[in-house]
Amino acid sequence: MRPGDLDAQLRAAASRLGPFAGGVRHVGTVGSTNDVVAELAEGGARHGTVVVADAQTDGRGRHGHQWFSPPGSGLYVSILLRVMRPPPVLTLATGVAVAEALATAVGLDASLEWPNDVVVTADGESRKLAGILTEATTERDGARVIVGIGINLRDTAWPADLAHVAASIQGVTGRAVDGAGLLVEVLAAVARRYAEVESGATAGLLSRWESFAPSSRGVTVEWMSGQVRHRGVSAGIDEDGALLVRVGSRLERLTGGAVRQVRAQVGQ
C-alpha cells in the first residue's frame, strides 16, 4: 500500500469517515497494530485514531491465537474508540461493517460466524477471510476500546495449520485488490455502524448481522464450558449480541468462547 495513494483516497472520502477522518497513521512492520494503538492511547491519542501496518510480527487473534500477518498479503488495522463503557454489540457491528465493505470495494459476498469471523466459501468449504479482535481497558473517565481488523488480501505461503482454513480476497475472486480502497470502505462502514451503536438504535444492525450469518439460526453447534462439551441448535442473537442456543427445552445465552458449527458427515 503506497502512502500517497492511501492519503489521496482518505482525503477524497473524508466526509464518509466520521471520527476516523484525519486520524489514520500508516506504519511499516510492527509487532501488533493493537499494541501500537494502545501506546498511542496512553499518550493521549484521540478517539478515532487508526493505525494500518504493512506487516505484523506478533499479530493477535482471539483466545491467544496468532494472526498470520506477512508483508504484502493482508490489511492489518486497529482503531481507537474512547467510550463511557464498551458497547456489547461493538464486535458484531464491526463484523457487519467489514462484510459490507467487502461487498462495496471488491464485490465479494462474505458471511459472518459468531462472534467475529468473516468467512467465504472456497473449494466447497467455509474458510476464514478476516478476523476481528476487540480489547477494552477501563480508564478514569470511561474506557478505551481498540478494535483490530485483519483481512487476507492475497494468498501466501500459509502455515500448515492455516492452509486448509484460510482464504484471501484475490484467491477467491481472482482479481487484484486495492488495499487502500478497501481500507477506506472499511473505515466508512465502521463509522456508519458505530454511529448506530452510539445512538442505541441497534435493532437494524442486529438484523443485518443475522442476514450475514446463516449459521446463527437452526444450525447444530458445539462449545466448551470448562471441561464439558455442550451441543445445541443456534437460535439467533439477543439485543446485547449474545448467541442464543436451544438445548432441549432450555435456551442458553453464550457471551464468549469458541463456538463450532457441527457439520453433517457423508452418509448421515
Measured on CA atoms in the order 180, 28, 67, 162, is the torsion positive or negative? positive
pLDDT in tens, 97-113: 999 999 999 999 999 99
> Which residue, 77, 88, 95, is CA-closest to 148?
77
**Domain boundaries of the chain, sorted by first residue:** 3-212, 215-261
SS (H, E, C) 72-121: CCEEEEEEEEEECCCCCCHHHHHHHHHHHHHHHHHCCCCEEECCCEEEEE
What are the beta bridge partners of residue 147?
79, 134
Residues near 226 by Cβ (< 8 Å), separated by ≥ 6?
none
Give the model's pLDDT for residue 266. Answer: 39
Give the model's pLDDT for residue 267. Answer: 39
Place of cell 478476516: 130
pLDDT in tens, 5-46: 899 999 999 999 999 999 999 999 999 999 999 999 999 999
Pick among 2.30.30.100, 3.60.15.10, 3.30.230.70, 3.40.50.300: CATH of 215-261: 2.30.30.100
217 grid coordinates: 439460526
- Mean pLDDT to the nearest integer, 116-143: 90
pLDDT in tens, 199-240: 998 999 999 999 999 999 999 999 988 889 999 999 999 999
The CATH topology of domain 3-212 is BirA Bifunctional Protein; domain 2 (3.30.930)
Give the model's pLDDT for residue 262. Answer: 81
206 grid coordinates: 442486529
